């Protein structure tokens, strides 16, 4: 069981959580709603992002964000990962015993 963004993505995709996709435009880039997993030092950082061009305020999106983050935490802990908060909007994930 590796703690790489790819291994975390496989687990979350299998659980039905949508991955955020980035799109490049002529002037700027955009991203869709979903989780994002990336390498962060010796850990993998996982966050759940709002769509870039969303007209929903953060106050209205926050309950959905918190629900998705809780789902992500439960899924990863059930698979044997240690999940700890990094700020308000992301988690650090590592293999238990690593």
pTM (two decimals): 0.84
* pLDDT at position 53: 66
* Non-local CB neighbours of 5 within 8 Å, separated by 6+ positions: 37, 38, 39, 44
**22 has pLDDT over 70:** yes
* pLDDT at position 10: 94
- pLDDT (tens digit, 9 = 90+) per residue, 26-81? 777 788 889 999 998 888 999 998 877 667 788 888 898 899 999 999 999 999 99
* pLDDT at position 93: 93
Helix (H) or strand (E) holding 66: helix 58-78
Q: 91 - beta bridge partners?
A: 46, 85
- How is the chain split into domains, by residue range? 5-19+31-95
């Amino acid at each position: 069981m590796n703690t790489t963004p790819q291994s975390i993505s496989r687990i979350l995709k299998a659980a039905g959580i949508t991955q955020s996709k980035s799109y490049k435009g002529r002037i700027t880039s955009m991203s869709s709603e979903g989780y994002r997993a990336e390498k962060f030092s010796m850990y993998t950082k996982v966050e759940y992002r709002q769509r870039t061009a969303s007209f929903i305020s953060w106050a209205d999106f926050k309950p959905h964000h918190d629900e998705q983050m809780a789902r992500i935490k439960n899924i990863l802990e059930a698979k044997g990962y240690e999940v700890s908060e990094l700020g308000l909007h992301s988690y650090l994930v590592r293999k238990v015993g690593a």
